[in-house]
Amino acid sequence: MPMDFFTWTLITLFGLAIGSFLNVVIHRLPRMLEAQWAAEARAHADHELPEDGPGYNLALPASHCPHCHAALRWTDNVPVLSYLWLHGRCRTCQAPIGWRYPAVELLTCALFVWSFAVHGASASALAWAGFATALLALAAIDADTHLLPDAITQPLVWAGLLAAAWQLSDQSLSDALWGAVAGYLFLWTVYWLFKLLTGKEGMGQGDFKLLAALGAWLGWPALVSLVLIASLSGVASGLLLRARGQLGEDGYIPFGPFLAFAGWWVMTWGPLPGLQL
């Protein structure tokens, strides 16, 4: 059944709201993990349990400017509109607000609209929108910190298996299960072969889990396309950064954003012609 204007408005607003929350996750989750690791390291060194410090999580403290730490008004947190109204600057100290905040909100909204346009008003649309926005969060976090948090990758694997079991994705449970297993094992094998040959680590273990999640959602026949798209886009990006003199001395660039890009590609257009197993 075609959706009316009111339904599309609700989907758009919901997508923008999720995008605003995604900005919180992208900014805070890596810092939460780093604080947790530091506390565990201190506890291990002192042989004591870490003391509870000031609350820092996805809810606390309240939204504030990272420069002057002034608390934000609710009117400063309206997705996209607040950024435009404030001309991209903090109301209190006039420090610039990163363009990525509205970009994430708009992209999340676009992913929700796309999902509901393709799958209609259904649980499948909500499932695919969740998958796509999780990839967005992982891509941004990995680009910033070279981390792919288990708090997102592992639930994404299980969500893909459940989506297949409940017929919310296009995969059979068998294809989803073998996609997760083969995706993880493929990059695990590449990792160890590279380490044995060079003595260096070519990628993080989060990449294994992310490809496992992609396999669970998109099925094992799509794995060749996923790896090829991610690898080619990664090489192209590396060459571009090198040409601009922006590539680090170690030549390392995170692989997560390119795996996420490959996931969006296959989700939207399907596996590359002739490469679906």
- Report whether pLDDT(53) > 60: no
What tokens does 94 get? 């006039």
C-alpha distances (whole Å) from 71 to each of 74, 83, 218 are 10, 16, 42
Average pLDDT over residues 27-47: 84
Sign of CA dihedral 97, 253, 176, 195: negative
pLDDT band at 51 (very low <50, low <70, confident <90, very high): low
Q: Yes or no: say if 33 and 58 are a contact pair by the CB < 8 Å rule.
A: no
Average pLDDT over residues 123-149: 97
Q: Yes or no: say if 118 and 24 are a contact pair by the CB < 8 Å rule.
A: no
Q: Yes or no: say if 47 and 140 are a contact pair by the CB < 8 Å rule.
A: no
What tokens does 56 get? 């820092």
- Report whether pLDDT(52) > 70: no
Percentage of the chain modeled with pLDDT above 70: 95
- Report whether pLDDT(275) > 80: no
Average pLDDT over residues 138-146: 96
How far is residue 145 CA from its own chain's centroid? Answer: 12
For 176-204, the DSSP string reads: HHHHHHHHHHHHHHHHHHHHHHHSS--S-
Beta bridge partners of 96: 89
Q: Yes or no: say if 86 and 97 are a contact pair by the CB < 8 Å rule.
A: yes
pLDDT band at 202 (very low <50, low <70, confident <90, very high): confident
Average pLDDT over residues 103-123: 97
Three-state DSSP state, 250: coil
Percentage of the chain modeled with pLDDT above 90: 71
Q: Yes or no: say if 183 and 151 are a contact pair by the CB < 8 Å rule.
A: no
pLDDT band at 210 (very low <50, low <70, confident <90, very high): very high
Q: Yes or no: say if 267 and 131 are a contact pair by the CB < 8 Å rule.
A: yes
- Listed by start position, the domains of the chain span 1-121, 122-277
Helix axis angle, 173-198 to 205-218, nearest 10°? 160
Query: pLDDT digit string (tens) for 242-271?
Result: 888 888 777 789 999 999 999 999 999 999
What tokens does 10 get? 């609700």
Beta bridge partners of 64: 71
pLDDT band at 50 (very low <50, low <70, confident <90, very high): low
